[in-house]
Structure 1
Amino acid sequence: MQNVMTDSPLDRPASRYGAPQRSRRTRRWVIVGLFAAVVVLGVTIAAVAYSRLGSPEVKGELGGYRVVDDRTVEVTASITRDDPSAPVVCIVRARSYDGDEVGRRELLVAPSTTEIVQVRTTVTTSRPAVVGDVYGCGTDVPSYLVGG
């Protein structure tokens, strides 16, 4: 009888011994690849968040509010925009004592010569309101606000 040595590993039944293990080198590359994927994903999320939440082209801040009656709130807002020659839209709203939104209005802010303008509008409510505020502003003005 003659002993024969081979360089290839023995084939073991996977049902008895489990799946063959990867080499250390293969495992290391898998870990490096996963780490690189996580880093790329993190950078992508940060870039998207900055573009959406970073310094906006237009910002609306509450200047004041006055509850006129059970169905009306007057809201004054200061609008700051990078390009004052472009119209913007702001959403102002009224909220009840429990925090529910009880009225909302889209407000067209026309072009001006200054970066900061102050606007005043009234919001009709469905229930008595206790506060008015500026929900947000943007540069995507709906066509129904500009008549186009």
Structure 2
Amino acid sequence: MIDRPPARYGSERLSRRNRRRIVIAATVLVVALGVAIAAVAFTRLGSPDIKGELGGYRVVDPGTVEVTVSVTRDDPSRPVVCIVRARSYNGDEVGRRELLVAPSTAETVQVRTVVKTSAPPVVGDVYGCGSDVPAYLVAPS
């Protein structure tokens, strides 16, 4: 092999073996990063200890919808907050309400609430439930 002056021709290219090693190392790094992201996402988003499902809804009038929520939780002794909303014909959210689900002895409870709307509702649904209950929802003891 002839030595070429690097100032004139640039540095030599990596050999095929070295390029292959770099590609393999980069692939392993990307796969490991993907697995780490998936693990974090699963622990934060997977298998919730609180689950809110739509039990039913009834459009009361052009400004009101009544929503029934079925809430299942691992620890029924703790209060839960659910966000319930109303949607219009085109899917826009036209009403929203935070709903306090009080502690109970049953793992699954059904609660009903009324959501006032800014436009005629077509459907009521549950946006989600969580254990971070705001202070303004809990009655002072």
1:90 lines up with 2:79 in the alignment: no
> In the TM superposition, what is the alpha-carbon distance from 1:18 to its structure 2 partner?
4.0
Tell me, what secondary structure is at the counterpart of 1:36? helix
CA distance in 2, matches of 1:20, 1:56: 55
Q: Which AA in structure 2 matches 1:131?
A: V
Residue 12 of structure 1 corresponds to which residue in structure 2?
5
CA distance in 1, matches of 2:60, 2:97: 16
Q: Which has the larger radius of gyration?
A: 1
CA distance in 1, matches of 2:44, 2:93: 24
1:43 lines up with 2:18 in the alignment: no
For 1:68-126, what per-residue CA distance to the aligned partner results, in whole angstroms no more than 9, with x for missing partners? 11111100010000110111110000000111000000111111111000000000100
TM-score, normalised via structure 1 length: 0.85
Worse overlay, 113-122 or 47-56: 47-56
Aligned-residue sequence identity (percent) comes to 70
How many positions carry a matched residue from both structures?
140
Residue 24 of structure 2 corresponds to which residue in structure 1?
32
Tell me, what secondary structure is at the counterpart of 1:61? strand
CA distance in 2, matches of 1:65, 1:142: 25
TM-score, normalised via structure 2 length: 0.89
> In the TM superposition, what is the alpha-carbon distance from 1:9 to its structure 2 partner?
6.6
> In the TM superposition, what is the alpha-carbon distance from 1:53 to its structure 2 partner?
2.8
1:102-117 map, 5 Å: 102-117=94-109
CA distance in 1, matches of 2:4, 2:128: 66
Among 42, 58, 65, the residue aligned to 2:57 = 65
Structural RMSD (CA): 1.9
